[in-house]
């Protein structure tokens, strides 16, 4: 049940890995909606702590360090500064943007771990893991490469084959070797500490079920995990980069990155509170505080199940009241890819399109992936700027201020008698702050932005229908009244646009000569500007974006695509010859996917129902990182029909979907060019 009338808010935005710059997908999915929400809360006078930072531990950091030939610390130092600066220039208004490498975070994470340990909340288990004798360390799954037992790909990882999509464990690989030394690893016993999620499931279920108001994608994914049954999860790892496990018998072990990362929200709040002279415990231990996590959909399980379980076990912290996770944003018809440089990088956008932060904020908010994946295109960016920001919002404000300069000596004119139409417009004006505010508070940001633009349209319509530039010739007092109302609408826009367009809001305040920024409680009033108040200097809020500017950005993406196509890719060696009789044993057929769903507790597997022309069959495929379930329903696929059934994650798979891998490692469905009847054979 959502907390009613909270006294304060703790709002967190996901800790991004400090192994590369940020792109528009990160902004649209997490950071912009969080900033809009926080700016609205602040404007309503709420006590808010807006917390985020960089996640500087885990395998992605060490992989990046090895690739660049530098230390992990050098990697995180490099990208922390770049990311922090980009956020600041873009107007993301964190109260603190810190990092998990800070001593206060190490201390807080170790303290919480010890609290759980001393309370008997961990199970100690000994398991066998691969160990590199040459490098002298245990290997994370992505540090192990070998031949896939299913498709024969010689470069399959220890957790998944990127060619056929099969979910794997390191011990399933044929001829595994370490990417660190190239040597063959050995299995060695190791002890780790597990959080018994299975025994905690009733409490976790009660928590999740108490929040039916959560977004359907969030609530549904949680229910899938719970339905399958939670299993213990290791909270420690055998790695050399991370926060040391604070136990005498844990030499060479660090805290699991998804144990320490969310604790970063707490440690960073401590850091902020110390700087501000505040009590951090009010923001994490007071039951009247509302905690909200903004994340992408790939982190739902960690924020809705694992982190709450940790805090339940510790016993002194509040749990998240809401986790409004977004889906993903695509780019120009393709998924954003950092390795292919298929992205709009925020720091490059700020350099190449200076002064246009609010244009990007507007477009990303208008296309926010709130319930399903969305798409960014440069042509849509141009269209929304020219046809909405310039032609609607900017046009109204410019006309109101320019006409005041021309006919009223740049001062707010005296308001005379109001017509029925004037009163109708003022009545409508009064409704907008609540419409916009309620939509923001309920995480419906696209709807809120639509209401904001409707207010600008109301102003445009009012000027178009009253025509003060004509009326002034015959009835200057009436023209003054019209312009007074138009300026009041403009002042209201300065308030309600601030969460979305903070730079524009400041420009409006400057042009209206508003010294103290107005807050949300004032929004909707018809008398924000007093009669005789002198305005500032007017200027255009938005500039039209020409085709040349957009074509440069499109060409930049095409150049990146061309560079990827020019890069050579290692072609696997041919396998040993087989006889025709061996080939003839394979029964390869065409079918259509009729149902698709994620397999609970697996971020790799999709459970598919395939119409094979013979009553249908169930096939599990490790393609969840490449396809959303809804986007492949109705697609024809090629599958191996006579592969012996295999059980994975408690589900039987009756065949294998055949896939191809593109240059970026993305899986592609193999399907006939023309429709083929289900059950048709491939020969």
Q: DSSP class of residue 393? A: I
193: Cβ contacts below 8 Å, ≥ 6 apart = 117, 122, 123, 124, 125, 234, 235, 236, 245, 250
**474 and 441 Cβ atoms separated by less than 8 Å:** no
164 labeled part of a ligand binding site: yes
Angle, CA of 288, 289 and 293, to the nearest 5°: 145
Q: What is the DSSP letter of 302?
A: I
3-state class percentages of the chain: helix first, strand second, coil last, to nearest 5: 45, 20, 35
3-state secondary structure 206-253: HHHHCCCCCCHHHHHHHHHHHHHCCCCEECEECCCCCCECCCCCCCCC
Torsion of CA 349, 352, 357, 359, to 10 degrees: -90
Q: What is the largest CA-CA distance in the chain?
A: 97
Q: Angle CA(113)–CA(117)–CA(120) in degrees, nearest 5? A: 145
Q: Is 641 within 8 Å of 619 (Cβ atoms)?
A: no
Residue 1, class by beta-carbon neighbours within 10 Å (0-12 exposed, 13-18 middle, 19+ buried)?
Answer: exposed
* One-character DSSP codes across 94-159: -SEEEETTSHHHHHHHHHHHHHHHHTT--EEEEEEEEEETTTTEE--GGGEEEE-TTT--TTEESS
Residue whose C-alpha is closest to residue 355's, from 385, 329, 377, 330: 385
Are residues 97 and 52 in contact, defined by beta-carbon separation less than 8 angstroms? yes
Cα–Cα distance for residue pair 338/343, rounded to 1 Å = 7
H or E element in which residue 330 lies? strand 329-331
**54 among annotated binding-site residues:** no
Residue 153 CA to residue 179 CA, distance in Å, equals 16
List, as own/partner pairs, every contact residues 536-539 make where C-beta atoms lie below 8 angstroms and the sequence separation is at least 24, other chains included: 536/510, 536/511, 536/512, 537/510, 537/511, 538/398, 538/401, 538/402, 538/405, 538/511, 539/507, 539/511
Cα atoms in the Cβ-side hemisphere of radius 13 Å centred on 582? 4
681 in a labelled binding site = no
Please give the angle made by the CA atoms of 454, 458 and 463, to the nearest 5 degrees.
150
Name the token pair of 80: 């922390």
| Dist CA 105 CA 430 (whole Å) | 46
Is 497 annotated to bind ligand? no
- Rounded CA-CA distance 319/425 in Å is 44
Q: How many CB atoms lie within 10 A of CB 225?
A: 23
- Residue 618 pairs with which residues in a beta bridge? 609
CA dihedral 279, 281, 282, 284 (to 10 degrees): 140
CB < 8 Å & 24+ apart, contacts of 578-586 = 585/642, 586/640, 586/642
Binding residues for ATP: 338
Q: Which residues are annotated as a binding site for Zn(2+)?
A: 148, 151, 161, 164
Binding residues: 148, 151, 161, 164, 338
């Amino acid at each position: 049940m959502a907390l009613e009338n909270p006294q304060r808010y703790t709002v967190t935005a996901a800790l991004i890995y400090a192994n590369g710059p940020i792109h528009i997908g990160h902004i649209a999915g997490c950071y912009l909606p969080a900033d809009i929400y926080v700016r609205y809360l602040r404007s309503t006078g709420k006590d808010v702590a807006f917390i985020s930072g960089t996640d500087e531990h885990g395998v992605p950091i060490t992989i990046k360090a090895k690739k660049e030939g530098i230390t992990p610390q050098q990697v995180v130092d490099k990208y922390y500064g770049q990311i922090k600066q980009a956020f600041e220039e873009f107007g993301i208004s964190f109260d603190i943007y810190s990092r998990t490498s800070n001593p206060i975070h190490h201390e807080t994470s170790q303290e919480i771990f010890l609290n759980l340990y001393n309370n008997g909340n961990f199970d100690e288990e000994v398991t066998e893991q691969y160990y590199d004798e040459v490098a002298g360390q245990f290997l994370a799954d992505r540090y192990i490469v070998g031949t896939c037992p299913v498709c024969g790909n010689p470069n399959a990882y220890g957790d998944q084959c990127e060619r056929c999509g099969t979910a794997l464990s390191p011990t399933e690989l044929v001829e595994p070797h370490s990417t660190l030394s190239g040597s063959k690893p050995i299995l060695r016993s190791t002890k780790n500490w597990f959080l018994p999620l299975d025994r905690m499931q009733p409490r976790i279920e009660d928590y999740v079920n108490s929040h039916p108001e959560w977004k359907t994608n969030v609530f549904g994914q949680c229910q899938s995990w719970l339905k399958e049954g939670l299993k213990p999860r290791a909270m420690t790892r055998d790695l050399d980069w991370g926060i040391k496990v604070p136990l005498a018998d844990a030499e060479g072990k660090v805290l699991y990155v998804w144990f320490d990362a969310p604790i970063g929200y707490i440690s960073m709040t401590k850091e902020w509170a110390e700087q501000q002279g505040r009590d951090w415990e009010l923001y994490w231990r007071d039951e009247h505080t509302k905690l909200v996590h903004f994340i992408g959909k790939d982190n739902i399980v960690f924020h809705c199940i694992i982190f709450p379980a940790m805090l339940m076990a510790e016993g002194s912290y509040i749990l998240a009241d809401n986790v409004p996770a977004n889906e993903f944003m695509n780019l120009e018809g393709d998924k954003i890819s950092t390795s292919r440089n298929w992205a709009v990088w925020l720091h490059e956008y700020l350099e190449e399109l200076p002064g246009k932060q609010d244009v990007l904020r507007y477009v990303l908010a208008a296309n926010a992936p709130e319930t399903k994946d969305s798409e960014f295109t440069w042509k849509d960016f141009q269209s929304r700027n020219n046809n909405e920001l310039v032609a609607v919002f900017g046009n109204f404000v410019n006309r109101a201020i320019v006409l005041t300069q021309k006919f009223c000596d740049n001062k707010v004119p005296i308001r005379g008698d109001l017509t029925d139409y004037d009163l109708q417009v003022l009545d409508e004006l009064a409704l907008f702050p609540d419409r916009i505010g309620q939509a923001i508070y309920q995480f419906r940001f696209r709807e809120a932005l639509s209401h904001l633009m409707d207010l600008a349209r109301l102003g445009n319509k009012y000027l178009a229908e009253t025509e003060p530039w004509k009326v002034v010739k015959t009835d200057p007092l009436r023209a003054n009244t019209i312009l007074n109302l138009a300026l009041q609408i403009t002042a209201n826009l300065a308030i309600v646009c601030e969460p979305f367009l903070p730079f524009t809001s400041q420009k409006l305040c400057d042009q209206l000569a508003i010294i103290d920024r107005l807050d949300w409680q004032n929004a909707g009033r018809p008398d924000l500007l007093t009669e005789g108040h002198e305005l500032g200097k007017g200027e255009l809020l938005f500039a039209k974006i020409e085709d040349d500017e957009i074509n440069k950005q499109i060409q930049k993406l095409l150049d990146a695509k061309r560079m990827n196509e020019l890069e050579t890719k290692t072609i696997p060696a041919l396998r040993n010859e087989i006889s025709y009789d061996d080939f003839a044993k394979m029964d390869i057929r065409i079918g259509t996917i009729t149902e698709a769903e994620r397999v609970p507790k697996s971020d790799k597997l999709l459970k598919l129902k395939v119409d094979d022309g013979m009553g249908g069959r169930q096939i599990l495929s490790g393609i969840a990182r490449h396809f959303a379930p809804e986007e492949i329903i109705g697609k024809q696929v090629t599958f191996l029909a006579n592969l012996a059934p295999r059980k994975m994650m408690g589900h039987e798979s009756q065949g294998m979907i055949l896939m191809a891998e593109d240059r970026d490692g993305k899986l592609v469905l193999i399907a006939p060019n023309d429709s083929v009847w289900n059950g048709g054979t491939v020969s």
